[in-house]
Structure 1
C-alpha cells in the first residue's frame, strides 16, 4: 500500500527533486503539490502545482498521509502548523530555523508526527557517527569543519554542518568548545576552538569535510552529495517510515536504523 504525500515548494530545486523521485516509486503517491508563486498552470513530474493559498483546502480534500517540506523557515512552520491541526504528519528538510522556530516545530509535534532533518543522505548519518567516534578517540586534536554549497543557498553554516558541530561538541563532553567562523587578520588558534568555514560557489550540491589534526597526523572525513535526488529519496523514505506513527518528534537516524523510538 502506497503512502500519500503532499509536496510544498514544488517548483524549487528540492521540491522538483522530490516530485521526480516520487514519480518513479511504487510506495509513494503524490496527493497534491503547492508553491507560493504558482498560478495553477505549471506541472512538475506530471503533478499540477497549486498556489499555496489553497493548501488548507487541498489538505482537507486529499487527506495525505505526510507533507514533505523543503521551503523556508517561516513558510515551513506555517505548513506544519496547518498539517498538525489536521493530524497530518510532516517531513521537514528546511534548514535555517532559529531556536524559536525549532521550538515551535517541536510543539507542533505534540499534535502530529514531525520528522525534521538537516540532511536526508544516508551517508551523512554514517558521517555523523564517524565524526563523533573520531573526536572522542582523538582528544586534543584541532578540528575544522568546512562545507560547500551552491551559490543560491541562504543559510550558513549549513544545517548539516551545524549537526556535525553538535556531534563534535557532544563527543568532547566536558571540554569547552567555541565555534570560530572563518579567520581574518591576526587570529591564532585558541585551545578548544572548532573552525567553521562556509563556501558558496557555482552549482555544488553539497560537500562537508571534517579535519582533525594533531600529533603530526591528519584525519579527514568527507561526505559529498553528487545529486539532489539523494536527499529527495531520503525524504520520501522518511515519509513512508513516518506515515501512521504517533505524534512526536522524530529524526532521520530513526529511519536509517529502523528505530521505533521517539
Structure 2
C-alpha cells in the first residue's frame, strides 16, 4: 500500500485525486497540505508541510510553484521521499533547482500527466524530423478561463521536444502581433486561448507548401491527469535518486 502525501489537496485536481485514490486498493492518502485545514477531511490536513506527522511513501504535488522549495526540503529532510511534481508554471530557476534535487532524491517531473499528450509529443518529434525546415510549426493551446500561466506547460513541452530534433537554434514566438516582419524559418509560434471550462486542448500545426499536417489532443476530463499522477506515485515508491518522467513509466 503506497501512502501518499497530497499537496494542494483541496484544489480542483486535489479533489479529483482524492476521489480516485478512494477507489484504488494499491494506495491511500495519508495526509494533505493546503492553504486551510479541514477537520472533516478523510485524512489529516495541514497548512505547513513541515507540520505533517504521518509517515508517507511519496508526495504528489498539484499546488502552486511557490511551494516547490518547501516540498523538496521536506522530502530531503525525511530520508529522500519520492516527489511527483505535477504543478505547472515553474520558473527556469525552479526547474534547475528540481533537477539539482534529483541528484540526491527521486523526482518525477512532468508538465502533463496524460499518456495521450506524451504520445503527441513523440509524434510531433517524429514529424519534425521528417518534415525538416520545409514546414512552419505553430502550437495552439486552449484552457479554461481560470488558468493563470500562458502558454501552458504542455505547449512548452511540445515546443522543447520539437526543438530538440531540429537543426540550429529555435526561436519561440509568443507575441506575433508586435512583429512587423515575415515569419522566420527557425520560429515556433505559441498561442494561448483562455475561455469557459475547456479542460485542455493542444494542436501542433505543420504548414508547408500547399499542405498542412495537424496533430492534436483534447482532454475531456481532469481525471486523466489524476490517473497519471497516481500511477506515477505508485511507480515512484522505493525508486533510487534521479529525475523521472512519463517516458520512464511507460
TM-score normalized by structure 2?
0.94
Determine helix, strand or coil for the equivalent of 1:62: coil
In 1, Cα distance between the equivalents of 2:47 and 2:246? 26
How do 1:214-233 residues align onto structure 2 when only pairs under 5 Å count? 214-233=208-227
Aligned-partner SS, 1:171: coil
Superposition deviation, residue 187 in structure 1: 4.4
Most deviating of 94-103 and 128-137: 94-103
Give the secondary-structure state (helix, strand or coil) at the position aligned to 1:125.
Answer: helix
Partner of 1:260: none
Contact in 2 for aligned 1:149/1:203 (Cα 8 Å): yes
The equivalent residue for 1:96 is: 89
The CA distance in 1 between the partners of 2:95 and 2:77, in whole Å, is 18
CA pair 52-163 structure 1, distance change in 2 beyond 3 A:
same
Give structure 1 stretches of 5+ with no counterpart.
Answer: 257-262
Question: Which range moved further: 97-106 or 126-135?
Answer: 97-106
1:52 is aligned to 2:68: no
Give the number of equivalent residue pairs.
247
Q: Of residues 169, 176, 179 in structure 2, which corresponds to 1:183?
A: 176
* Structure 2, unaligned runs of 5 or more: none
Q: Check if 1:32 corresponds to 2:31.
A: yes
Match of 1:149 in 2: 143
**2:101 maps to 1:108:** yes
- Residue of 97, 106, 119 corresponding to 2:112: 119
| 1:54-91 CA distance string (max 9 Å, x none) | x2232xx3221100001111113311221122121100
Cross-structure match for 1:78: 70
TM-score, length-scaled by structure 1: 0.90
Task: State yes or no: 1:169 paired with 2:163.
Answer: yes
Report the Cα offset of residue 233 of structure 1: 0.5
Task: Report the CA distance between 1:49 and its aligned residue.
Answer: 5.4
Aligned mates of 1:214, 1:231 — CA distance in 2: 33
Change (3 A) 1:49 1:159: farther
Instruction: Say if 2:247 is the partner of 1:253.
Output: yes
Residue in structure 2 matched with residue 259 of structure 1 by the alignment: none
Question: Hey, what's the Cα distance between the residues in 2 that align with 1:68 and 1:176?
Answer: 35
* 2:139 and 2:188 in contact (8 A); partners too: yes
My pick for the range that moved more, 176-185 or 229-238, is 176-185
Residue of structure 1 aligned with 2:193, choices 199, 219, 222: 199
SS, match of residue 184 in structure 1:
helix
* Superimposed CA distance per residue, residues 167-206 of structure 1 (whole angstroms, 9 cap, x where no aligned partner): 111121x233211114216443222211110111111111
Secondary structure at the counterpart of residue 177 of structure 2: coil
Q: Equivalent of 2:153, from 151, 159, 177? A: 159
User: 1:70–1:76: 8 Å Cα contact kept in structure 2?
Assistant: no
Q: Distance in 2 between matches of 1:227 and 1:195?
A: 27
